[in-house]
Structure 1
Amino acid sequence: MHTDLWNFALKLYARPGVEAACLQWQDLGGDVCLLLCGIWLSARGVAANEQRVRQLTELAETWQTEVVKPLRALRQSWRDEAARDPQLTGLREQVKGLELAAERILLERLETACKDWAATPETALDWISWLAPEVAGAHHDALHRLRAVMLTTQDAEDGV
């Protein structure tokens, strides 16, 4: 298993259907970094609880609001014009790089926040249910796909 969250997230994101599910989740207002962290914690056998979820959510919300979302909004606002302007296309790609770097920093911060959480024999490992915003619903198709990937990741780690 990848021991750090960033490499785990890269490997997971590369799996078929995960990128589309994550982008769909993001479009619904969900936090993909937080969700990837939850899947990573599930794969490590770390149980979710209210205190842990609150700690990670508060950390993620602050960084998303102050750093990631403004970069994403700028990049997206340039989409149409960049298709006609090669110089703006270059700038847009730079902003995209900054957005990805900001997401990596968020994943590193999330990992640091939960690095001492030990695996437990508890069965409450479905972090997705804990982290899914109520407005989008915990039963959305994107979450079903991510949950299926999470379960296959856990099975692979368990040698199933």
Structure 2
Amino acid sequence: MSSDLWSFSLDTYARPGVEHACLQLQAAGVNVCLLLCGLWLGQRGVACNEQRLQLLGDVAGPWDADVVQPLRTLRQQWKAAASEDAGLDDLREQVKTLEMEAERHLLLRLERLAQSWPQCEATDLTAWLEGMAAGAANLSRDALHQLRVAVTGT
């Protein structure tokens, strides 16, 4: 297991089925960075509680709304036109790189917030996953299960 949240997120996202599950959950309104953070915290044995969920959400919400989402929206808006315009496609790739960098910064902020939380208190990833996905419309329980299995193997 990777010790830092960014490496853990990259390793986890590269596992079979994880990208698809994350995109499904993202389409339902779930913040994937928060999900990956929840998996990371669960793997480290950090207990999930309402206060921690709220603190993480308070950090992620503004950054996601003000930085990540505008970049993602622009990248998605350019998708069709970029397939026929090489110059626009190059710009779209640069926006994609910025979007990923914005997500990396968010994960660093979440890691800094959580680094002092005690580890080895709990082992239930489900609480973190459900807490991070709470309130999402049309939530896919299968996608959440896929993420848990990708990390735990069970």
Structures share fold, TM-score greater than 0.5: yes
List structure 1 segments (4+ residues) > 4 angstroms apart after TM superposition. none
**RMSD between aligned residues:** 1.6
> For 1:44-55, what aligned pairs fall within 5 Å after superposition?
44-55=44-55
What one-letter code is carried by the residue in structure 2 that aligns with 1:113? L
Q: For 1:81, what is the secondary structure of its paired residue? A: helix
Aligned to 2:64: 64
Structure 1 position 151, deviation (Å): 2.7
> For 1:134-145, what aligned pairs fall within 5 Å after superposition?
134-136=135-137, 140-145=141-146
Q: Equivalents in 1 of 2:65, 2:134: separation in Å?
A: 16
TM-score (norm 2): 0.93
Structure 1 position 136, deviation (Å): 3.0
Aligned to 2:24: 24
Structure 1 position 59, deviation (Å): 0.7
CA contact under 8 A between 1:128 and 1:138: conserved in structure 2?
A: no
Q: Equivalents in 1 of 2:4, 2:16: separation in Å?
A: 21
**Structure 2 unaligned regions, length at least 5:** none
What one-letter code is carried by the residue in structure 2 that aligns with 1:134? G
Aligned to 1:130: 131
CA contact under 8 A between 1:45 and 1:119: conserved in structure 2?
A: yes
**Structure 1 unaligned regions, length at least 5:** 156-160
Q: Are the structure 2 counterparts of residues 138 and 27 from structure 1 closer, same or farther at C-alpha, using a change threshold of 3 Å? A: closer
TM-score (norm 1): 0.89
Report % sequence identity.
Answer: 52
Q: Equivalents in 1 of 2:140, 2:82: separation in Å?
A: 36
